[in-house]
C-alpha cells in the first residue's frame, strides 16, 4: 500500500510539473533541429533539400532509433512519441531525487517535498542549459536518468543504477559522462561494505552501452575527426552563433552567481554530512565540483587549444549540477535545521533552493519574486515542522508546500520559461504548404532574421527552408554545414529584404518566398496570404 501511495504522489508531482510549471514545449528550441531529422529518416521523400537533414548529428545516440521504433509500434506522430518519452524520463528523475532524499534520512513526505522543489527546474544562464529540458531532446532524457542512478546507488542498488545511467548514456553521452567519472572514482576506492565485483558491475554495463553506440554509429553519418582543430573562420563563426560554448563571452557577468551557488552546495552538504551514505557523498561533492571545473577546462580546450570536438561535447553545461544540487541539498538542510529548531536557518535554505526556478536572471529578483520566494520558504518551513512534529495536518501541509510553487511562481512571480511561437497564422501557412506545394519545395523567409517561426513551419509543413537562424546552431557539429549555412545567410538573410532580389532566388534553388505583411510586393500576386504572411512563387 505504501508503494502505491508513493507512486501516486510521484506521478502527481510529475503531472503538475509537466503540464503546469516548468511545463513542456514543442518546436520552441532544439526540437526544431531533431524533428526534421526524424521526419526525414521516417520518410526520405520529405525535407531532402533542407540543410538540417543533410547533416544529422544523432549518430552517437539511440534517440532517433528509439523514436522511430516507438512510432512504428504505436502509430503515433513523433511529437506524441517524444513527449511520452519525455514524461516518463522526467518522472523517473523525480523518483531519483526522492530516493536521494530518503537516503539522507528524510521521511517519505519530506523526501517528496525535496523532489517537488527540484522538479521546478531552472535555466542555467551562460551555457544555456536547463535542469529539466522543456523539450523532448536527448539531453532532456539523459539528465533525469543521472539523478535516478544516483538515487539507486544511494540505496546500494548497483545494477539498477548502472542500467539507468547506461540508458542516459545511450540517449546523450555528454550529459552522463560526469556521472561516470564520479562513479569510476567510487568504484576503485577500497570498500569493505561493497565487494569489488558489485562495484565493477556498472562499469561493465557502461562498456556494453558504449559498444552499442559504436555499432549504431557505423550506419550513420558521423561528425568531424576526433583530434581536429578549429580553423580561424570556424572559431569566429561558432563564437558568433553559439557563444554559450565560449566561456569568455559570458563568465564575467555570471561567475559570481555560480560560485555563490557552489558555496551553497558545500555549506548544505556540510550541514547534512552526517546523514549522507558513503556512495552518495561522492556525487554530492563530485558533480558540483565537475560543474565548476568544467568552466576553465572548456576555456582551455576550446578557446586556447581550439579542439573541434569540444563544442560538440559542451563540457560547460555540466554547470547545471551546481544549481541542481543546491536545489536538492537546500531543502534537506532546511529539514535538519527545523529538527534542531533553527527555523530562520531553514527559511534561508529553502529561499536559496527556490531562487533558481523563480528568478532566471543573475540579477536581484524583482519584489514580486522576492515575495514568492519568501512565501514559499515560510510555507515549506511550516510544512517541515508539521511533518516532524507528527501533526494531524502534516499531509495537508506537505501537499500545500509541494503544490504551491507550481502555481505561484508563474502567476505571482511572472516567470515565463518560453515564448509563444505557435500562432494561427503559422499553422495556416504550414497547412497550405503541406497540401498545395510539391514535397521537394524550398521556402525562404528573408525578413524573419533571427525569429524562430521558420523552424516551426519546417516541421509542420514538412517543407525545406533555405536558411534560418536556428539551423546555424549546428555550426558546432559540422564544418561543411557551418560554411554552407553562413554562405546562405549572407546571400539571403543578412541584409534588409530587397524586392529586387526576388528574381535571383530561383537560381539558388528557392521555390517560394514568405514575407511579412509589411513587405507586400504590389506588382506580384501572392500564391497564399493570411493576416501575417504573404507567399510568392519565386519568378
pLDDT given at position 25: 95
- Distance of alpha carbon 18 from alpha carbon 6, whole angstroms: 18
* Cell digits of residue 77: 506522430
Residue of 278, 32, 244 whose CA lies nearest to 126: 244
pLDDT given at position 1: 78
Task: For 193-238, give the DSSP string.
Answer: SS-HHHHHHHHHHHHHHHHHHHHHHTTS---S-TT-B--HHHHHHH
Q: What percent of the chain has pLDDT over 90?
A: 76
- State the pLDDT confidence band at 195, using cuts at 50, 70 and 90: low
Looking from the CA of 479 toward its CB, the CA atoms found within 13 Å total: 12
* Cell digits of residue 524: 506580384
Query: Do residues 246 and 239 make contact, with C-beta atoms less than 8 angstroms apart?
Result: yes
pLDDT digits (tens, 9 = 90+) for 339-361: 999 999 999 999 999 999 998 76
- Distance of alpha carbon 56 from alpha carbon 54, whole angstroms: 6
Residue 533: its H or E element: strand 533-537
Portions of the chain given CATH number 3.40.190: 424-537
pLDDT digits (tens, 9 = 90+) for 210-228: 666 655 554 444 445 567 8
- State the pLDDT confidence band at 187, using cuts at 50, 70 and 90: confident
Average pLDDT over residues 130-152: 96
The span from the first CA to the last CA of the chain, in angstroms, equals 70
Decide if pLDDT at 461 tops 80.
yes
Q: What is the CA radius of gyration of the chain?
A: 25
Residue of 3, 224, 169 whose CA lies nearest to 102: 3
Question: 3-state class of 529 per DSSP?
Answer: strand
pLDDT digits (tens, 9 = 90+) for 486-514: 999 999 999 888 888 888 999 999 999 99
- State the pLDDT confidence band at 84, using cuts at 50, 70 and 90: very high
CATH number belonging to domain 424-537: 3.40.190
pLDDT given at position 194: 62
pLDDT digits (tens, 9 = 90+) for 45-55: 999 999 999 98
- State the pLDDT confidence band at 445, using cuts at 50, 70 and 90: very high
Question: Rounded to two decimals, what is the model's pTM?
Answer: 0.94
| b (16+ CB within 10 A) / e for 374-394 | ebbbbbbbbbbbbbbeeeeeb
* Cell digits of residue 261: 551557488
CA dist 24 → 455, 478, 494 (Å): 18, 29, 32
Amino acid at each position: 500500500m505504501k508503494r502505491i501511495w508513493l507512486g501516486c504522489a510521484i506521478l502527481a508531482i510529475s503531472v503538475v510539473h509537466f503540464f503546469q510549471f516548468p511545463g513542456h514545449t514543442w518546436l520552441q528550441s532544439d526540437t526544431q533541429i531533431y524533428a526534421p531529422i526524424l521526419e526525414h529518416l521516417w520518410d526520405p521523400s520529405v525535407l531532402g533539400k533542407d540543410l538540417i537533414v543533410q547533416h544529422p548529428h544523432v549518430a552517437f545516440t539511440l534517440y532517433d532509433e528509439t523514436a522511430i521504433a516507438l512510432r512504428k509500434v504505436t502509430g503515433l506522430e513523433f511529437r506524441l512519441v517524444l513527449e511520452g518519452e519525455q514524461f516518463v524520463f522526467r518522472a523517473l528523475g523525480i523518483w531519483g531525487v526522492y530516493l536521494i532524499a530518503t537516503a539522507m534520512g528524510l521521511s517519505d513526505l519530506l523526501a517528496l517535498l525535496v523532489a517537488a522543489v527540484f522538479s521546478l527546474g531552472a535555466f542555467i544562464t551562460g551555457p544555456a542549459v536547463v535542469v529539466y529540458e522543456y523539450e523532448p531532446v536527448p539531453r532532456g532524457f539523459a539528465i533525469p536518468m543521472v539523478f535516478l542512478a544516483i538515487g539507486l546507488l544511494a540505496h546500494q542498488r548497483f545494477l539498477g543504477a548502472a542500467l539507468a545511467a547506461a540508458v542516459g548514456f545511450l540517449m546523450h553521452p555528454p550529459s552522463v559522462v560526469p556521472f561516470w567519472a564520479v562513479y569510476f572514482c567510487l568504484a576503485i576506492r577500497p570498500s569493505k561494505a561493497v565487494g569489488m565485483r558489485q562495484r565493477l558491475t556498472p562499469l561493465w554495463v557502461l562498456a556494453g552501452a558504449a559498444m552499442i553506440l559504436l555499432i549504431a554509429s557505423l550506419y550513420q553519418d558521423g561528425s568531424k575527426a576526433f583530434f581536429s582543430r578549429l580553423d580561424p573562420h570556424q572559431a569566429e563563426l561558432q563564437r558568433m552563433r553559439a557563444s554559450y560554448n565560449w566561456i569568455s563571452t559570458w563568465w564575467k557577468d555570471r561567475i559570481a552567481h555560480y560560485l555563490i551557488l557552489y558555496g551553497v552546495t558545500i555549506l548544505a552538504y556540510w550541514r547534512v554530512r552526517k546523514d549522507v551514505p558513503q556512495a552518495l557523498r561522492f556525487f554530492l561533492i563530485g558533480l558540483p565540483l565537475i560543474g565548476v571545473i568544467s568552466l576553465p577546462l572548456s576555456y582551455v580546450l576550446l578557446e586556447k587549444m581550439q579542439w573541434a570536438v569540444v563544442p560538440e561535447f559542451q563540457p560547460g553545461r555540466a554547470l547545471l549540477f551546481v544549481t541542481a544540487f543546491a536545489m536538492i541539498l537546500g531543502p534537506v538542510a532546511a529539514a535538519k535545521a527545523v529538527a534542531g529548531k533553527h527555523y530562520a536557518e531553514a527559511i534561508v535554505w529553502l529561499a536559496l533552493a527556490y531562487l533558481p526556478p523563480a528568478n532566471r536572471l543573475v540579477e536581484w529578483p524583482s519584489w514580486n519574486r522576492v515575495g514568492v520566494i519568501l512565501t514559499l520558504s515560510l510555507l515549506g518551513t511550516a510544512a517541515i515542522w508539521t511533518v516532524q512534529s507528527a501533526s494531524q495536518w502534516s499531509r495537508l501541509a506537505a501537499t500545500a508546500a509541494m503544490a504551491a510553487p507550481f502555481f505561484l511562481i508563474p502567476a505571482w512571480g511572472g516567470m515565463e520559461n518560453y515564448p509563444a511561437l505557435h500562432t494561427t497564422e503559422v499553422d495556416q501557412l504550414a497547412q497550405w504548404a503541406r497540401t498545395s506545394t510539391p514535397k521537394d519545395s524550398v521556402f525562404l523567409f528573408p525578413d524573419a532574421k533571427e525569429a524562430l517561426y521558420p523552424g516551426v513551419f519546417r516541421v509542420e509543413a514538412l517543407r525545406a527552408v533555405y536558411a534560418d537562424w536556428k539551423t546555424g546552431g549546428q555550426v558546432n557539429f559540422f564544418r561543411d554545414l557551418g560554411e554552407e549555412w553562413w554562405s546562405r545567410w549572407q546571400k539571403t538573410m543578412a541584409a534588409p529584404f530587397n524586392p529586387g532580389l526576388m528574381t535571383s532566388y530561383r537560381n539558388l534553388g528557392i521555390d517560394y518566398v514568405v514575407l511579412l505583411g509589411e513587405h507586400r510586393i504590389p506588382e506580384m500576386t501572392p500564391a497564399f496570404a493570411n493576416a501575417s504572411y504573404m507567399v510568392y512563387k519565386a519568378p
